Structure 1
Amino acid sequence: MKDLNFRHLYHFWMIAREGGLNRAAEQLDLTAQTLSGQLASLENQLGGALFHRRNRRLVLTDFGETIFRYADEMFTTAESLSELLQQPPEHRPLTLSAGLSASIHKLIGYHLLAPALGLSREVRLHCQTGDTDNLLDRLARKELDVVLTDRQPPSERAGAFQAHRLASSSISLFAEPALASELRDGFPGSLDGAPFLATSLDAPYFTELMNWFAGNRVRVRVTAQVDDSALIKVFGRQGVGYFAAPTAISSEVCRQYQVEAIASIEEVRDVLFAVTRAGQIHHPAVDAIIKPRGSIGQE
């Protein structure tokens, strides 16, 4: 690499892109003779002909096509970088790498990220889901800018992170219309022994919900354990059982999955946090996310 003449490679790329020496020379403000000499020098360095002449036109050889593909990727990227750097810093696109705990409902995840996407400045979002502990490890390694989760970092790691409480919501129970109508009658006793769709993820609100069931003497009959919040709703739509989701997204859940709400349980709360690194440098998109809001979906 240290021996490759990138200026000559760039001029070769221009010749191939413009379709000839004269047009490339005009673009580069050089003479065709100078470009011809540089091309010969590059071909000698690379050990093969890049063009052959056909009816007074330069046509890429097979070897030249290969070199051009690499050069095109390199210099197209370089031109994009140059255009970016010419913009005022406040107008350059922001890159936001966010981690979303798998135990957070996907609709909730969208609402939490929406303020960052609503900035006047362009934001290029990279969002990854996963286990909270793994996401926090990636945050510590500076691979992520923020982690959205339903729990605070463990106490032994509290000094490395800062947890910002975003919002909370009560939990509601949902089912397909016929089952929902049946379970609303005599609630909460009607839930005793009814088919229930449980999350297999370690979501804090789920533990609270199990305690609420026990306190109301509801025997929980789990018909399926699912580790995906969207898949649970699909099972619920098919009548396999009733399921829990945050009340804040009740209308969206009902509309998207053709289910109905059975009841809201105010004693059980889904609390959400944005976790950043301690002493993290100011990031406008992260600042928009951690802005306090009354409930999920409210700005």
Structure 2
Amino acid sequence: MEQLNLRHLYYFWVISREGSIARASEVLELAPQTLSGQLATFEASVGGRLFSRERRQLILTDLGRLILGYADDIFALTGELAETLRLDPSERPLTLRAGISASIHKLIAYYLLQPAMAVKRSIQLECQTGRTEDLVLSLKRKELDLVLTDRMPKLQEEANLTVHPLAGSSMSLFAAPELADRLRDGFPESLNGQPLLANATDAPYFERLMNWFSLNGVRMRLIARVDDSALIKVFGSQGYGVFAAPTVIREEVCRQYEVEQIASIDDVVDELFAITRGGKIAHDGVRAICEAHSDFQGLK
């Protein structure tokens, strides 16, 4: 069967729902003989009987039940499509496909995306995480509507992409309560020789943090590199070492992972950017994200 006849599939679906050709013919406004002929043609195309007769009732065969499962999904979607198309264009859901650099903390990504969810038009959000370079390629192919990243990308002029600086946050150091309490006294010298949990995705803020340590004569012991921001905090909460996270989310980090802040380092900033196609932003959700950075409380 090279091509499925959707009209025949629809006739079969209605017959299955109504339970008889007579009732289905009334719904479809077709003569019973015509509908029987269409069903026979469909059965021939799929290579088997779809119904058996028992006491004048139509009973689905195994093949019929298999095809009905697919038909239910297909016509449920077409029903949703029909409802959507009946809406005014301004009321139809708008898909927002966002690429998020893997090194961005998930809570930060949530705050950056939140303005899009508050626009008047209904937004259907699709998120994809990965390397900034790969996400930018997807953006060029129009597979994404914007990319959120913590590194300034090198863009070619012919790429027709625009970088929008967003608000940034200073970084803080966190640890399990006992370790954090011990390291506050004499900070930053107290960090010497202490275990450090690092981000394995080469996040730009981590390089800045290492430079800050060097300038302040601090040498910590790197014990793990983890590319999952949540997993780093789990290790930290169990007392395995010190980890860094944006200061703006310190309350959520402390509450969720039962850790404490050691100190905030204002000289180390996690910079954030949005990358879009073209110069003028037409997408309501993308525009809301790019324009809301000045209202992103606490990010400086």
Normalization by structure 2: what TM-score? 0.91
Q: In the aligned structure 1, how far is the partner of 2:10 from the partner of 2:281?
A: 37
Contact 1:169-1:296 within 8 A present in 2 as well: no
Deviation at 1:111, TM superposition (A): 0.9
- The aligned length equals 299
- One-letter amino acid of the counterpart of residue 139, structure 1: L
Residue type at the aligned position of 2:215: G
Describe the SS at the equivalent of 2:293.
coil
* Alpha-carbon separation, structure 1, partners of 2:82 and 2:190: 66
Partner Cα separation in structure 2 for residue 111 and residue 294 of structure 1: 12
Kindly report the root-mean-square deviation, in angstroms, between the aligned alpha carbons of the 2 structures: 2.2
Q: Is the 8 A contact 1:194 1:220 kept in 2?
A: yes
Pair 1:265–1:281, CA change in 2 (3 A): closer
Q: Cα distance 1:236–1:38, how it changes in 2: closer, same or farther (>3 A)?
A: same
Deviation at 1:127, TM superposition (A): 0.9
User: Relative to structure 1, is the Cα distance of residues 3 and 98 closer, same or farther in structure 2, using a 3 angstrom cutoff?
Assistant: closer
Paired residue type of 1:33: Q
Aligned partner of 1:226 in structure 2 is 226
Aligned to 1:128: 128
Match of 1:106 in 2: 106
CA distance in 2, matches of 1:158, 1:189: 49
Written as runs of structure 1 = structure 2, the 5 A alignment for 1:216-255 is: 216-255=216-255
Q: Is the 8 A contact 2:140 2:159 kept in 1?
A: no
Distance 1:123 1:251, change over 3 A: same
> Percent of counterpart pairs with the same letter?
57
Q: Give the secondary structure class of the aligned counterpart of 1:120.
A: coil
Matched, 1:208 2:214: no
Q: Is the 8 A contact 2:161 2:278 kept in 1?
A: yes
Q: Evaluate the alpha carbon distance shift between residue 32 and residue 298 of structure 1 in structure 2; reply closer, same or farther with a 3 A threshold.
A: farther
Distance 1:64 1:155, change over 3 A: closer
Q: Residue 226 of structure 2 contacts residue 232 of structure 2 at CA under 8 Å; is this kept in 1?
A: yes
C-alpha spacing 1:98/1:55, structure 2 compared with 1 (3 Å): same
CA distance in 1, matches of 2:14, 2:290: 47
Alignment of 1:7-26 (within 5 A): 7-26=7-26
Cα distance per residue 1:81-104 (max 9 Å; x no partner): 112111111111121211111111
Amino acid at match of 2:28: L
- How far apart, in 1, do the equivalents of 2:157 and 2:191 lie? 40
Q: Contact 1:167/1:296 (CA < 8 Å) preserved in 2? A: yes
Shift of the alpha carbon at 1:222? Answer: 1.3
Given that residues 169 and 298 in structure 2 are in contact (C-alpha distance below 8 angstroms), is that contact kept between their aligned partners in structure 1? no
Q: In structure 1, the residue corresponding to 2:294 is in which secondary structure?
A: coil
In structure 1, the residue matched to 2:55 is 55
User: Where in structure 2 are there 5+ consecutive unaligned residues?
Assistant: none
Distance in 2 between the 1:48 and 1:192 partners?
76
**Cα 1:167–1:31, aligned 2, differ >3 Å: closer, same or farther?**
same
Aligned to 2:85: 85
Q: Which residue pairs with 1:290 in the alignment?
A: 290
Q: Flag the 1:260–1:282 CA change in 2: closer, same or farther, 3 A.
A: same
Structure-1 separation of matches of 2:158 and 2:263: 36
Describe the shift of the 1:80–1:15 C-alpha distance in structure 2 as closer, same or farther (beyond 3 A).
same
Counterpart Cα distance in 1 of 2:139 and 2:290: 16
State the Cα distance separating 1:41 from its structure 2 match.
3.4
Return the offset for 1:133.
Answer: 0.7
C-alpha displacement at 1:109, in angstroms?
A: 1.0
| In structure 2, C-alpha distance between the alignment counterparts of 1:130 and 1:3, rounded to whole Å | 37
Kindly provide the amino acid, as one letter, of the partner of residue 192 in structure 1.
N
SS at match of 2:261: strand
Q: Give 2:198's aligned residue.
A: 198
Q: Which amino acid aligns with 1:262?
A: I
Where does the alignment leave 5 or more consecutive residues of structure 1 unmatched?
none
